[in-house]
Copies of this chain bind each other. A is one copy, B any other.
Amino acid sequence: DDPQNTPIPAFGSQCLSCHGEDGRPELADVPIIAGQQPIYLANALRHYKSGERTGGQALVMQEMVKNLSDEQIVALSQWFGAQQ
């Protein structure tokens, strides 16, 4: 199915509150992740999960991803990457 026209997977619904319904945030200091490179997104989420990535909203992000499996991380990265 085409990620661009399917809703975000349920395990990613918490992302939308900060990153915006389609990955375009209202908050100016939150990155746009719509259309971002999926591999970059997946690496960022993995590094938040492992604690390797700090700075900015790292503590918030660590909470968001700590229970995600790597498959879920990849699925979310592909979903946001496919949004325009």
Are B28's CB and A40's CB within 8 A? yes
A72 interfacial by beta-carbon distance below 8 Å: no
Residue numbers in B under 8 Å from A47 (CB-CB): 55-56
Closest chain B CB from A49 CB (angstroms) = 11
A25 interfacial by beta-carbon distance below 8 Å: yes
Number of copies: 2
A-side binding surface: helix, strand, loop or mixed?
loop
Residue numbers in B under 8 Å from A55 (CB-CB): 44, 47-48, 52-55
Are B28's CB and A32's CB within 8 A? no
Could you give 18 example pairs across A and B, Cβ below 8 Å? A28-B37, A28-B40, A29-B37, A29-B43, A30-B37, A31-B37, A31-B40, A32-B35, A32-B37, A43-B56, A47-B55, A52-B54, A52-B55, A53-B53, A53-B55, A53-B56, A54-B54, A54-B55
